[in-house]
Structure 1
């Protein structure tokens, strides 16, 4: 059963069209039900072979947020938002637990075959190459997360301007983990800038 959110959810179209990067947030906590719904919707993002490479770190502790703000070169949105998500990718954890990603409807023989195939494919890559591949999948989840948040009436801003090594240390992440973004989420306390985007003629080529 889905939890009740603070307002009627936006349609996908409304969420896309009204999403802006928000850096000022209303100073109020986020209901746990809303946070869990955002994370649940994020977890439905697609990934190749269903590997689900993303690992989500939801930070609400004020002290830890202050440390994350310092690692983010003082950017105030980190402590102004009630929740800060650090979305990372961990391909080594995926490969060590492949059985978790295999569909339960598969026969034991098919599961064994799928696991052997994936092990062979990624075993031929370096840790860095696997990490970069996994990051492409986590970036899909990042898009889902921003739209899920906006759909429930929240603002966010994706950040990569932070000291990755410090964030690894603060959250206890392994060296091979890759970062999709740090994402403050909360009720907007300001309007975002109007969209300024290329025309379709500039970015689309029909074949």
Structure 2
């Protein structure tokens, strides 16, 4: 399905218009090659200062998915999906690795100035505040992920209805990590609801 969709070269308009949440999936293994190609696109998401705080945890193990479903209050799409992505933000990891985010084309002096400025800015924030800042950036990558999945022929459903502390325990994640979403995905085995959205005059204001 992914190969077919790629060959069709759908436009971004096609992908956005066709994407909708699905909660029942075909029981088949998703090739790791497809997942890698999807994340090759997602990692191009923009972020302020290029800090890229997003981290993705892909779960395909049946037992782990069952634990995630339990943490998601029994929502069956979690185990119906062949794979589940936990979209997280880890600003503490970013802070430990500022040099990795600075553009290699900058002069050494400019690099060191950039690192010093970032260290001063985020070092003056609490762990919670910089975690929330990183989450706003990670939500950009979440949007890229949903459209990229659609582009490779996979349906998905972004979720926030789960016990975040239990999921951290299941995956061995640090307390400071923030969640943007849990995203079960695979080939659709049922139709989702058609789009029901506000009209433009509700959400767009011209000034």
TM-score range with shorter-chain normalisation?
Answer: over 0.9
Give the corresponding residue for 1:52.
Answer: 52
Relative to the length of structure 1, the TM-score reads 0.96
Show the counterpart of 2:129.
129
Distance in 2, Cα, partners of 1:47 & 1:204: 24
CA RMSD of aligned residues (A): 1.1
> What are the equivalent positions in structure 2 for 1:91-130 lying under 5 Å apart?
91-130=91-130
CA distance in 1, matches of 2:5, 2:156: 18
Q: Which moved more, 1:193-202 or 1:4-13?
A: 4-13
Kindly indicate whether residue 75 of structure 2 is the aligned counterpart of residue 78 of structure 1.
no
Dislocated runs of 4+, deviation >4 Å: none
Q: Take 2:101 and 2:188, find their aligned partners in 1: how far apart are those partners?
A: 36
Q: Which moved more, 1:35-44 or 1:79-88?
A: 35-44
| d(CA) in 2 for partners of 1:200, 1:131 | 32
Aligned to 2:34, the other structure's residue is in SS state helix
- Counterpart Cα distance in 1 of 2:185 and 2:108: 42
What count of residue pairs does the alignment treat as equivalent?
204
TM-score of the superposed pair, with normalisation by structure 2: 0.96
- For structure 2, the 5+ residue unaligned runs are none
The range that moved more, 8-17 or 133-142, is 8-17
Task: Tell whether the 8 Å contact from 2:2 to 2:151 is kept in structure 1 after alignment.
Answer: no
Other-structure match for 1:192: 192
- Do the aligned partners of 2:2 and 2:154 also contact (CA within 8 Å) in 1? no
* Alpha-carbon separation, structure 1, partners of 2:190 and 2:81: 12
> By how many angstroms is 1:34 displaced?
1.1
